[in-house]
Amino acid sequence: MRIASFVLSLALVGGVACSETLPTVAPVAAHDGGSPIEPTRERSASVAFDENGISEPLAFVVPPSTRSIAVVVEGEAAHLHALASFTMADGVELVGIDIARSHTDAMQHNYFTEQSGTMPGELRQSPRLGTFTHVYPYAPDQTVIEGTATLRVVRDAPFGAATVRVLMAPDDGARVLHLNLVRVTATEDLPADPPFLRELRRIFRQADIEVVVDEVLTLRDTGLEKIASMTEPQETSESDSVSLARMVGATTSTTALDVMIVDALPPGVGGLSLGVPGPPMPESYYYGVLVESGPDARSVARVIAHETSHFLGLQHVVNRGASGRLYLDPIPDTVDEATNLMAHGTELTPGQAFVLTRSPLLSTN
């Protein structure tokens, strides 16, 4: 991990294959032959890809009362990754692509040419270079079903391997979002009670989410206070924004989501999220969001809320690909109007609130 030298000013606000037998990432019975072991809520396993870039199937057990399933695939940074199949205990295949052929051309076209960040098939997912994340459900009409589930991963190259992590958050009413606020600057410090915080909290309360700030930091002399370039549709592991995220991740002392407020972003860019959704893992190089500082506290709050909502799983109400094709978000009650947070406003619909509250980043305290 490359860490540039910098001066730190800190204000601590709060603590805080393919064979007959599927590989499994959850135990199903006690070693003594007694009662079944309660399935755990976080599992990881390695998978290998075939000549078509399709992995072996991976089985895992979804416990009762699970609010969401987050799948994080960590593979080679130069290759796109996504889900090739995903089936829960009801046997319904959610992705629906042909796992007997390669999807390299389609994946690379959608990502690099169309810049839509979409994947063929029925499941709305965003393929990603290196680390891919998917959180299900991502719309109010979707349900997590307890029992044995299986998935396969696809990448845009034959053979190779990746690590798959499955996080199954409990349906425990978690509504607290912890943030670290990090000012990356050559100028002023970020006060312990930033002026944008009240409006930021008001926006998220629409989804019954309470924002808690763990740390307020100011980083100087990083060389990254002005981010001059970015890549579409999402940042790469070699970008300046990811370099900054690595640096900040090595500096903060909590697992809260890092909100990095910089002096400048590329022209026309007010903020960016390092994932849609982002990996719910503080150790990931894609952990965090960036926002350009500004004099209008309400505007800064809106951009932080917008980019953080991307990281938690919300899409734009409408995205436009390089071809001009429009890609609508999958939530039925959103409309493309200026008042919506994922357009140009601050309002959230009940459907968007549902999606936000599925995020494994939320806690109960």
Q: What gap in Å lies between CA 115 and CA 361, rounded to an integer? A: 27
Tokens of 72: 């994080």
Q: What gap in Å lies between CA 247 and CA 126, rounded to an integer? A: 25
Q: What gap in Å lies between CA 27 and CA 47, rounded to an integer? A: 18
Task: Say yes or no to pLDDT of 267 above 80.
Answer: yes
Percent of the chain with pLDDT over 90: 87
| pLDDT computed for residue 39 by the predictor | 59
* Cβ atoms 102, 77 nearer than 8 A: no
| pLDDT computed for residue 4 by the predictor | 31
Average pLDDT over every residue of 2-22: 33
| pLDDT computed for residue 122 by the predictor | 97
Task: Say yes or no to pLDDT of 302 above 50.
Answer: yes
Task: Say yes or no to pLDDT of 10 above 60.
Answer: no
Amino acid code (one letter) for 181: L
Return mean pLDDT, the chain: 90
| pLDDT computed for residue 196 by the predictor | 98
Q: Would you call 163 exposed, middle or buried from its count of C-beta atoms within 10 A (0-12, 13-18, 19+)?
A: middle
DSSP SS3 for 68: strand
**All structural domains of the chain with their residue ranges:** 7-11+173-356, 42-170
| pLDDT computed for residue 101 by the predictor | 97
* pTM, entire model: 0.90
In CATH terms, 42-170 corresponds, of 1.10.730.10, 2.40.128.20, 3.40.50.2030, 2.60.120.380, to: 2.60.120.380
CA distances from 154 to 84, 127, 365 (A): 5, 9, 36
pLDDT tens-digit readout, 167-187: 999 999 999 999 999 999 999
Tokens 């960590």 belong to 74
* Cβ atoms 281, 249 nearer than 8 A: no
209 or 9: whose pLDDT is higher?
A: 209
pLDDT tens-digit readout, 207-238: 999 999 999 999 999 999 999 999 999 999 99
Range in 38-52, 124-138, 214-228, 316-330 the model is least confident about? 38-52
* Cβ atoms 346, 305 nearer than 8 A: yes
Q: Where are the beta strands (DSSP E) in the chain?
A: 7-12, 42-48, 58-62, 66-74, 80-87, 128-129, 131-136, 147-155, 161-170, 176-184, 210-220, 257-262, 271-273, 289-292, 318-320, 326-328
* Cβ atoms 71, 83 nearer than 8 A: yes
> Measured at the alpha carbon of residue 315, what is the angle toward residues 363 and 124, in degrees to the nearest 5?
95
* Residue of 341, 340, 273, 275 lying closest to 302 (CA atoms): 341
* Residue of 199, 192, 190, 203 lying closest to 297 (CA atoms): 199
Task: Say yes or no to pLDDT of 327 above 50.
Answer: yes
Amino acid code (one letter) for 323: S
Q: Does the 7-11+173-356 domain belong in CATH 3.40.390.10?
A: yes
* Cβ atoms 148, 73 nearer than 8 A: no
Task: Say yes or no to pLDDT of 337 above 80.
Answer: no
Length of the chain, in residues: 365
